Amino acid sequence: MTESVERGVPSKLSLMELSFTVNGERKTMRVYPMARLLDTFEGLAADGKLDNLQEAFLQCGGAQCGICTPGMILAASHLLHKKPEPTLEEIREGLSGNLCRCTGYTQIFEAVAEAARRRRIATP
């Protein structure tokens, strides 16, 4: 059974199948989510409104072709949860392993810094 989960635990703790390609061949991995919280790119938005990290990526030009965007934003979300005010070096380290072939990373790093700034302003 394949399910798409936005934010939270699937309604049934059923087997989930993830699909991806390696060297042009489709591969699958089956996982049991158990009772763990599962975050996805789509699940960051709430009530039809983009998360401030998603907004910052759009406004700063961090989302170009879109291939790396979900991974970058999820890695950035994790980073900002752990370090609400990251330095540029911490942003670079937090996003390492995610490859982008369009932006040269500068706009992505700027988007993460902008999202952190917005969160500081929004938090009393």
pLDDT at 5: 47
Q: Using 50, 70 and 90 to split pLDDT, how confident is the model at 7?
A: very low
CATH of region 46-122, choose from 1.20.210.10, 1.10.150.120, 3.40.50.300, 3.40.50.740: 1.10.150.120
Interval 106-124: pLDDT, tens: 999 999 999 999 999 987 6
Query: Stretch 22-31: mean pLDDT, rounded?
Result: 80
Interval 43-81: pLDDT, tens: 788 888 999 999 999 999 999 888 899 899 999 999 999
* Pair 121, 88: CB distance under 8 Å: no
Which pair of tokens denotes residue 67?
């291939």
| Domain spans of the chain, in order of start | 7-39, 46-122
Chain centroid, CA 62 distance in Å:
12
- What predicted TM-score, i.e. pTM, was given to this entire model? 0.70
Residues 6 or more apart whose CB falls under 8 angstroms from that of 108 comprise: 57, 60, 62, 72, 95, 100
Query: Pairing mode, if any, of strands 38-39 and 7-8?
Result: antiparallel
Dihedral of CA atoms 21, 60, 106, 91 in degrees, nearest 10, equals: -80
Mean pLDDT, rounded, of the chain: 82
